[in-house]
């Protein structure tokens, strides 16, 4: 009997959530995702130190003024790590726009175009990358513009159906609903324990998956932010799942028969009228978990972005 990871790969595209080249090489996923926190962690690894030094040298040669050099060095480092990852995976690498731009559509578009240009300088085309953007209203509208330019996006920090709907209606290529962070909120606020089948994060992704398939939205659903293998297995059959190296290792050592939980039954229902900005904001506001976790996620990514900048500033 094959291990559960091998069985999962047969029904779901497995993506690794890491900036660690060693882990990516070990598990050989189809795609890989990074974020500011993972890049900060990667900056401490042996493989990345020369990349960080090279990114600083590049920024000094192509930008003037400390803030501009810091910004370009961070972008160049993210792209160079992504470029290295692209040589290990056959699919796409997700690189995230600075979280501090989450409420500025035009600045998000401009940053995405800069990242694409840096990738192109490294010989990596748009067909190999996804630009990660927070699922704020402004971020979703930025994704709409980018998708129209042929730059495909991964809408992250997604905690609510209103976000999922708006992303699909904007033509986003992929969404990353966060499973574990939803569970975190409910455990902290209800003081209850949850099984994989009652896990609010799992149920949220299942609802989004069924909504997309029933209404014929092509946007890819990629569950993210897992706390345990039970959550992962409870979403077997989802389009994609991005999983940390630690959980991938656990799954590779587990045996048994995988129970497929999600199956695309085909489009059966006409798409609803697109959400307005007011409807989106109200529905998100009505959900304390989604509102709090979106804001917290943006803040945490911004904190790690600043830490990376401080690390670079110490080497200027």
Half-sphere exposure of residue 5, counting CA atoms within 13 Å on the CB side? 20
- Residue found under tokens 């830490």: 307
Q: What percent helix, strand, coil does the chain show, rounded to 5?
A: 55, 15, 30
Write the CB contacts of 138 (distance below 8 Å, at least 6 apart in sequence): 102, 103, 104, 105, 108
Which of 9, 132, 213, 293 does the annotation list as catalytic?
132
Retrieve residue 191's tokens: 């003081």
132 is catalytic: yes
Dihedral sign from CA coordinates of 80, 153, 260, 236: positive
- How far from 8 is each of 92, 151, 199, CA to CA, in Å? 19, 29, 20
- Residue found under tokens 């911004």: 302
Contact by Cβ (8 Å): 159, 294: yes
Q: How far apart are CA 313 and CA 290, in angstroms?
A: 34
Retrieve residue 311's tokens: 């690390």
Write the CB contacts of 277 (distance below 8 Å, at least 6 apart in sequence): 137
- Residue found under tokens 């042996």: 46
Retrieve residue 62's tokens: 């192509």
Q: Which of 46, 126, 45, 44 is nearest to 79 (CA)?
A: 126
Retrieve residue 200's tokens: 């609010």
Retrieve residue 34's tokens: 């990074």
List active site positions. 132
């Amino acid at each position: 009997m094959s291990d559960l990871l091998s069985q999962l790969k047969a029904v779901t595209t497995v993506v690794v959530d890491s900036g660690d080249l060693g882990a990516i090489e070990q598990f050989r996923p189809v795609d890989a995702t990074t974020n500011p926190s993972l890049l900060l962690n990667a900056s401490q690894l042996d493989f990345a130190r020369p990349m960080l030094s090279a990114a600083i040298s590049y920024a000094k040669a192509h930008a003037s003024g400390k803030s501009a050099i810091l910004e370009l060095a961070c972008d160049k480092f993210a792209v160079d790590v992504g470029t290295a990852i692209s040589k290990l995976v056959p699919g796409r690498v997700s690189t995230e726009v600075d979280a501090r731009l989450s409420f500025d559509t035009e600045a998000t578009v401009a940053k995405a175009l800069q990242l694409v240009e840096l990738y192109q300088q490294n010989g990596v085309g748009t067909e190999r990358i996804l630009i990660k953007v927070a699922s704020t209203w402004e971020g979703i509208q930025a994704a709409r513009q980018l998708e129209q330019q042929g730059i495909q996006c991964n809408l992250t920090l997604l905690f609510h159906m209103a976000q999922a709907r708006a992303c699909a209606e904007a033509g986003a290529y992929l969404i990353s609903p966060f499973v574990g962070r939803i569970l975190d909120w409910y455990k902290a606020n209800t003081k209850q324990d949850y099984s994989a089948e009652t896990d609010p994060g799992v149920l949220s992704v299942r609802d989004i998956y069924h909504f997309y398939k029933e209404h014929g939205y092509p946007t890819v659903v990629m569950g993210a932010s897992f706390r345990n293998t039970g959550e992962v297995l409870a979403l077997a059959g989802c389009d994609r799942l991005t999983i940390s190296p630690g959980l991938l290792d656990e799954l590779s050592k587990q045996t048994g028969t995988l129970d497929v939980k999600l199956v695309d039954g085909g489009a059966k229902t006409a798409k609803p009228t697109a959400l307005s900005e007011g409807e989106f904001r109200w529905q998100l506001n009505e959900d304390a978990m989604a509102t709090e976790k979106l804001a917290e996620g943006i803040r945490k990514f911004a904190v790690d972005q600043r830490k990376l900048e401080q690390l670079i500033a110490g080497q200027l």
